[in-house]
Amino acid sequence: MTAPEVVRERLATDLARARDRSRALTDCVDDGDLVAQHSPLMSPLVWDLAHIGNQEELWLVRDVGGREAVRRDIDELYDAFAHPRSTRPALPLLNPDEARRYVTQVRDKAWDVLDRSPLQGRRLERDGFAFAMIAQHEQQHDETMLATHQLRTGPAVLDAPAAPAARTALPAEVIVPGGEFEMGTSTDPWALDNERPSHRVLLPAFVIDAAPVTNGEYLEFLGDGGYDRPELWSERGWAHRRSADLDAPQFWQRDGSGSWWRRVFGRVVPLHPNQPVVHVCYFEAQAYARWAGKRLPTEAEWERAARWDPASGRSRRFPWGDAEPTAAHANLGQRHLEPAEVGAYPDGASPLGVHHLIGDVWEWTSSDFLPYPGFSFFPYREYSEVFFGGDYKVLRGGSFGTDPVACRGTFRNWDHPVRRQIFAGFRCARDVAPGEADV
């Protein structure tokens, strides 16, 4: 049990950090850019901004605080289910100045609600859940806005130092022994509904890559005709590869001499061979894995590799233990605008020596997005429940654009298998060969 005053301080920091980021992502472009649609897959940035404020108003100001609405008339405009992303630019949205004023008004009230909440009692307020949920929500939209920035054309407006270089050489693979482990959580106070409840899962031994697949490795697949060999793709994956005319990860381009480059937030940079590949869809990940004689890990395998501590038998919050991530553990929080070289975070490794599980790139798993046994929605069906059983694959681990508040060993992300504007890569896994796990 953490004392309410400590929780309150932490919530204030997390909410303030989210708002600084939302501001930075929306103050760096002009109004025309904020209302424009940079891709039919994305909302205009100004929609995300006001939607962030609207969710905060619904949950913190009205529900937790029991206060008067700031703007009851705009709920429908910012209801993600009422309007698909492609139709949002045509809505009578708040203009950029109005949106900025709106989120500030809501936040001022939310600060007051936070000051007065006991942070205990009612489940929504207990341990500050509602405030943490809203901080996570804002950060998730900030990551979405970062993806919109990546899709946006025109001169670069975002800047960050280069991600760190390798500090240690990694083995190709790690053997994870079979056995039972605790998947999900019933005790992490800020875990979202889909991460709950904790349950025992029994897995046979498996082998998992020590790091995500790099650009250099992916280039070998590409050079070996990976995109031209239907036998490497699933039936659905090949149909998509054909209809979408995929021939390389999104944002890759080749120059006259055959060298590969990558467009990264408005700059064209040489393809870095030792950074994880990013902006591939599930079907590309699946084809690579088959080419490598492997497969994608299941979500349970990923979580066992990330959380299970062989010494204690316990599942921990992060690969390195229960401590919150620092800059030494993982590439999170948009400190860098790219994944780091593999081997750059030795302090972030799991006890078995699996690296880069947290940060750098979201990792596609082979699992569909489904509820854990005993799931119940909280606090609303539309966060997770309505997506269960849809055409979604689970992604794990967070990217360089994920804030620590929205990232942990239990955190589950999901998206359509064709999507690649998200900061997604992957690592491979495989069954153990006979005798391999006995050593």
Tell whether residue 215 is a contact of ligand AVJ (CB under 6 A): no
Helix (H) or strand (E) holding 201: strand 199-203
Stretch that binds ligand AVJ, among 41-49, 135-143, 168-176, 278-286 (CB under 6 A): 135-143
Instruction: Provide the minimum distance between the beta carbon of 412 and ligand AVJ in the complex, in angstroms, as a whole number.
Output: 8
Among 22, 43, 334, 413, binds ligand AVJ (CB under 6 A): 413
What tokens were used for 179?
A: 């056995």
Nearer to ligand AVJ, 140 or 410 (CB): 140
54 binds ligand AVJ (CB under 6 A): no
Q: Which of 22, 43, 139, 140 binds ligand AVJ (CB under 6 A)?
A: 140
Q: Do 400 and 334 touch, CB atoms closer than 8 A? A: yes
Q: Give the residue, chosen from 22, 26, 144, 331, that forms a contact with ligand AVJ under the rule CB under 6 A.
A: 144
- Cite the annotated binding site for gamma-L-glutamyl-L-cysteine by residue number: 85-88, 415, 419
- Interface with ligand AVJ (CB under 6 A), residue total 7
Which parts are annotated binding residues for Fe cation? 51, 137, 141
Q: Shortest gap between Cβ of 350 and ligand AVJ (angstroms)?
A: 24
Q: Applying CB under 6 A, does 150 fall inside the site for ligand AVJ?
A: no
Using DSSP bridges, classify how beta strands 260-264 and 252-254 pair: parallel, antiparallel or unpaired: antiparallel
Please identify which residue in 137, 294, 336, 355 interacts with ligand AVJ, judged by CB under 6 A: 137
By CB under 6 A, the residues from 353 to 392 that bind ligand AVJ are 383
Q: Report how far residue 49's alpha carbon sits from residue 108's, in angstroms, rounded to the nearest whole number.
A: 16
DSSP bridge pairs for 182: 200
Task: List the structure tokens of 350.
Answer: 């799991």
For 347, other C-beta atoms within 10 Å of its C-beta total 13
Sheet containing 393-396, strands listed edge to edge, beginning at the edge strand earlier in sequence: 413-415, 393-396, 362-368, 424-425
Question: Taking a C-beta distance cutoff of 8 angstroms, is the pair 16, 24 a contact?
Answer: no
Rounded Cα distance, 209 and 296, in Å: 10
Residues belonging to the binding site are 51, 85-88, 137, 141, 415, 419
DSSP state of 341: P
Between CA 35 and CA 157 the distance in angstroms is: 16
CA distances for 243 relative to 236, 238, 240, 287, 340, angstroms: 11, 9, 5, 16, 32
Contact flags string 266-295 toward ligand AVJ, x per CB under 6 A? ------------------------------
Q: How far is the CB of 139 from ligand AVJ (least distance, A)?
A: 10
Among 131, 218, 265, 414, which residue interacts with ligand AVJ (rule: CB under 6 A)? 414
Choices 40-48, 110-118, 139-147, 346-354; region in contact with ligand AVJ by CB under 6 A: 139-147
- Taking the least distance from each CB to ligand AVJ, the nearer of 328 and 386 is 386
What minimum distance in Å lies between the beta carbon of 358 and ligand AVJ? Answer: 16
Question: What is the C-alpha to C-alpha distance for residues 345 and 327, in angstroms, rounded to an integer?
Answer: 9
Query: For 37-74, what is the HEC assignment?
Result: CCCCCCCCHHHHHHHHHHHHHHHHHHHHCCCCCCCHHH
State the residues that interact with ligand AVJ by CB under 6 A. 137, 140-141, 144, 383, 413-414
